[in-house]
Amino acid sequence: MRMLVIAGTLLVSLVAAQMPLQVEFPSGSSLQISSQEVAFDLSRSGFPPRDLPAYYRPQEPEGSLELRLFSNIEGGWSLAARMDPLARSDGEWLPPGRLEVRCDGGPWLPLSSAVVLLTGSGVTGGYQAHTIELRLKVLGDELPGSYQGVLVFSLSRL
């Protein structure tokens, strides 16, 4: 009886199967922003200013935005921001350069055209967190009312 068990074990260990295995990671990237909306309420911020130009920070969100970036793009990439004109419902507008942005404590940049905030090369090795700050430049020629606009962040290959 003991002999049969050993023979059965040897028979099982001689049988094997193989199959190819393939894993494919798609090329991809992701941007996550910590807030859905940015709002400036100058009536709560000491308006009108004593000196011009004056700079106002948003009330919503309070403080800065966190932008989380992931990329597995081979080669170089850049993160850019752009702003459409800030418009009122009656057609009056403020140029997009009135909104300024900075990334990770760097210099303030007007959003009068697309602005490159970050560049990188290769995969990010997970999500990278970056601090985005915004401010509104007031020159004193702004008409009262509510202005709306769209701020766009984009990640692209270099």
Higher-scoring residue by pLDDT: 6, 55: 55
Q: What's this model's pTM, rounded to 2 decimal places?
A: 0.81
* Residue 83 confidence (pLDDT) above 70: yes
pLDDT of 32 reads 92
Distance CA 43, CA 145 (A): 11
For every residue of the chain, DSSP letters joined together read -HHHHHHHHHHHHT----------PPP-EEEEES-S--B--GGGTTSSPSSSSEEE--TBTTS-EEEEEEE--SSEEEEEEEEPPEE-TTS-EE-GGGEEEEETT---EE-SS-EEEEEEES--SSPEEEEEEEEEEE-S-PPSS--B--EEEEEEE-
What domains are there in the chain, each with its CATH number?
Answer: 49-158 (2.60.40)
**pLDDT band, very low/low/confident/very high, at 144 (cuts 50, 70, 90):** confident
**pLDDT band, very low/low/confident/very high, at 12 (cuts 50, 70, 90):** low
